[in-house]
Structure 1
Amino acid sequence: MLVQAHLTIQGKVQGVYFRWSTVQQARQHNLTGWVRNRTDGSVEALLEGDQQQVAKVVKWCHKGPPDARVDSVKVNYAEATGKFATFEIVPTI
């Protein structure tokens, strides 16, 4: 089953390669979507793909890369839209 997960990750998550590491994790698990920094210091991601693979990356986001400190992760699930061909870093908002 294909799903979408929209995440907001808070903590020490900028300047610690969180976005790039998320790209690597998503691509390793054949997911599509995007990740970006937000001006409030959080990281936001949209993951689409197989439910089990999405769950693995969501679990990883609760820890993040070695220099990150994740304080909270909000996740909202929905049906996958299928509108993404790749997984990329998109501009900060």
Structure 2
Amino acid sequence: MSEANPKTLHIFVEGRVQGVGYREFVRRAALRHGLSGWVRNRSNGAVEARASGAADALDALVEELRMGPPSAAVTGLQAIDDCDPPEKAGFVIVPTL
């Protein structure tokens, strides 16, 4: 899939992912892979992200998110194809939901 026709994933990560720098880890990884979107904490203790870009870049992001930063402990990750319009340029941390 080309960047002219980006893919979008909605990602939910569970485990020890809050208070360990996980959102910043996601933001940096997404930017490194040339993706756009956002990441936020959820009130249930999970982290949620929506990322758009090339399929191979999204695959690489998901693999990094399964590991997380050194102080995180990921116990579950769900990545769902999202058919809504792709995210605009940039990758940001947004307020908790």
Q: 1:89, 1:10 → 2: CA distance? A: 17
Q: Which consecutive unaligned segments of at least 5 residues does structure 1 have? A: none
Deviations 1:58-86 (Å, cap 9, x if unpaired)?
Answer: 11111111100000001101347234121
CA RMSD in angstroms, aligned pairs only: 1.1
Which one of the candidate residues 1, 8, 12 is aligned to 1:4?
A: 8
**Aligned position for 1:46:** 50
Q: 2:64, 2:77 → 1: CA distance? A: 11
More strand by share: 1
1:77 to 2:81 alignment: yes
**Could you state the TM-score of these two structures normalised by the residue count of structure 2?**
0.91
Opposite residue 68 of structure 2, the aligned amino acid is G
The alignment covers a number of residue pairs equal to: 93
Q: Which consecutive unaligned segments of at least 5 residues does structure 2 have? A: none
